[in-house]
Amino acid sequence: MATSSKQYLTRGEELWKGRSEKVNAELFALTYGALVVQLIQDYEDYAEVNKQLEKMGYNIGTRLIEDFLAKSNLGRCSDFREVGEVVAKVGFKSFLNISPSITHQAPPVPTSPTRPTSTAQANSAGSSFSLIFDENPLAEFVELPEDALEGGLWFSNVLCGVIRGALEMVQMQVSAEFISDVLRGDETTEMRVKLIKHLEEEVPIGDD
Amino acid sequence: MTIYSLYIYDRHCTCVYYHDWHRTRRPKLAVEGGILPAVSQAVVALAAETNSSTLTIYSSPRNTLTSASGVVVAVNEMNAQSAVSPLLQAPPSPVGISSTGLAFDEEVKLVYGVVLSLRNMIKKLSGRDEQFLNYRTSAYKLHLFETLSGYKFVMLSDPGTESLRFVLRQIYVGPFLEYVVRNPLVNMDSKEYGIDNEYFRTSVDRMIRGSSFFP
């Protein structure tokens, strides 16, 4: 079931257009900005703020995935590469109307002589993809002050949590983190999502 | 073509919701602590019905508990009451045959076990792409709709019904999304609470009663 990336793009486009309740982008950006500012005032430690944003994103992600699965009606992805494609082209498009570009990285080559085939590689723990955001609706009007830059604040860290939460609900444990951010003066905003492992389905506790 | 009942299981293999429309045998109340709170008020409300109908036969000061049927804590007290009098198990309503002898919590576990075993066997036999859809016995047909996130929607209907997966998907996309996923007061992935709430229950009820499958 090799759906081409173009089909994913059109699907994402359809889902975005099909959404009945949309929020004003400026209101969204300003509300998120106010949220981050409030967190900074409360915690006063940028690492902690990053953690809290990620946690909030996690809670959002665990529910967002239901919305996504219900509306998009997509089946299970065959490998982690496809997961990345779906996240970038359908997921972000249908919720935020942005299409980040994606680059895949295979897992690091082990020293063992018996190498698995490339398709198996794409699904094994350690494979990752990077999302590069040309536009970030969360950071529309944002400029980071000096101490935020020094403190290591990742402004859009909530997105990392969303991806982690959503993928965990479909049996994948991933780590998502920002590598660079234009708000911090880097050239691109890039998020790396790495597969840690596939989670096993739970079985009921046998109490007999 | 009638629909008998609906069970929803989450990815932790626990029943988080139960709803029934027609049942020939009343479910026995769950053992104390056997089911999560907020799975179904029916487990409590049924006892309330039986209480009011058997007032003449068995009057007890404990009948005052009927007013507390909305409160989860009352499950335990209802249990004590029904344990005392087996009469309460058989309400004189038209569908009142005595229960199968299975407590509700055991029943949901068995239903889940059946679904899980069949699904795993099918996956082992034919690979990941094949899906378990439904099975049929002489008395009922059990339909399964499973989401990638691990939620399983199980519906029991009469044997003549065609596949109700579509209806289950409608429940997922409609009431479940609206009143459970988008409801911040519903604790979704917890291992301690079900997802029963007023809006969800009434909208599921309305949807099923309004569908063409319901007489």
Domain ranges of chain B: 3-209
Whether B11 sits inside 8 A of A202 (CB atoms) is yes
Residues of chain A in contact with residue B116, where contact means CB-CB under 8 angstroms, are 203-204
Q: What's the pLDDT band for B40 if we cut at 50, 70, 90?
A: low
Overall average pLDDT of the A132-138 stretch:
93
Are the Cβ atoms of B128 and A203 closer than 8 angstroms?
no
Kindly list the distances between the CA atom of residue B67 and the CA atoms of B44, B51, B85, B90, B197, in Å, as whole numbers in the listed order.
11, 11, 19, 20, 19
Q: Which residue has the tokens 């790396």?
A: A192
SS3 B203: helix
CATH number of the B3-209 domain: 3.30.450.70
- Give the 3-state secondary structure of residue A150: helix
Instruction: Decide if A70 touches B, using CB distance below 8 A.
Output: yes
Query: Could you say which residues from 180 to 209 on chain B have a Cβ atom under 8 Å away from some Cβ of chain A?
Result: 181-182, 188-189
Asked if residues B153 and B146 have their Cβ atoms less than 8 Å apart, the reply is: yes
Per-residue pLDDT reduced to its tens digit, B54-105: 333 333 444 443 333 333 333 333 333 333 333 333 333 333 344 556 777 7
Q: Best of A63, A86, A167 to disrupt the B interface by mutation (most B CBs within 10 Å)? A: A63
Shortest Cα–Cα distance, A162 to chain B (Å): 15
Chain A positions in Cβ-Cβ contact with residue B177 (cut-off 8 Å): 66-67, 70
Other Cβ atoms closer than 10 A to A133: 24
Predicted pLDDT at B41 = 53
Q: Give CA–CA dist B84/B78, Å, rounded.
A: 10
pLDDT at A132 over 80: yes
- Identify the pLDDT of residue B132: 87
Smallest CA–CA distance, residue A64 to chain B, in Å, is 8
Q: Of residues A88 and A202, which shows the higher confidence score?
A: A88
pLDDT the model gives residue B105: 78
Q: Which residue has the tokens 């009007």?
A: A141
pLDDT of residue A145: 92
Q: Tell me whether residues B150 and A169 touch, CB distance under 8 A.
A: yes
Residues of A in contact with B128 (CB under 8 A): 76
pLDDT of residue B58: 39
Q: Could B177 and A65 be called an inter-chain contact, meaning their C-beta atoms sit closer than 8 Å?
A: no
**B27 pLDDT band (50/70/90 cuts)?**
low
pLDDT of residue B187: 82
A9 reaches B (C-beta below 8 A):
no
Of A4 and A138, the one with more pLDDT = A138
d(CA A39, CA B30): 45
Query: B131 to chain A: nearest residue by CA?
Result: A75
Give me the pLDDT at residue B66, please: 38
pLDDT for B106: 82
The residue ranking higher by pLDDT, B91 or B149, is B149
Residue A78 φ/ψ, nearest 5 degrees: -75, -35
Task: Write out residues 72-131 of B within 8 Å (CB-CB) of A.
Answer: 109, 112-113, 116, 128
Number of neighbours of residue B80 by Cβ within 10 angstroms: 12
Cross-chain Cβ contact A69/B182 below 8 Å: no
The two tokens of residue A77 are 């992805």
* A23 interfaces chain B, CB cutoff of 8 Å: no
**Mean per-residue pLDDT for B100-124?**
85
**With contacts defined as CB-CB under 8 Å, which chain B residues touch A67?**
177, 181-182
Alpha helices in chain B (DSSP H): 42-53, 74-84, 104-126, 165-171, 198-210
Q: For A208, which residue in chain B has the nearest alpha carbon?
A: B106
User: Average of pLDDT values for B184-193?
Assistant: 81
Beta bridge partners of A192: A130, A177
Better-scored residue on pLDDT, A154 or B64: A154
**Least-confidence region, from A30-34, B67-71, B107-111, B142-146:** B67-71
Tell me if chain B has a CB within 8 Å of the CB of A78: no
How many Cα atoms occupy the beta-carbon half-sphere of B4 within 13 Å? 19
Could you report the predicted ipTM of this complex, rounded to two decimals? 0.84
pLDDT averaged over every residue in chain A: 88
- Report yes or no: A206 at the B interface, CB cutoff 8 Å: no
The span from the CA of A72 to the CA of A86, in Å, is 10
Q: Where are the alpha helices (DSSP H) in chain A?
A: 5-18, 25-43, 46-72, 80-85, 92-96, 118-123, 146-151, 157-169
Q: What is the structure's pLDDT at B25? A: 60
Instruction: Please compute the mean of the pLDDT values over residues A106-126 and round it to a whole number.
Output: 62
> Which pTM was predicted?
0.79
Picking from A66, A71, A205, the nearest residue to B149 by CB comes out as A66
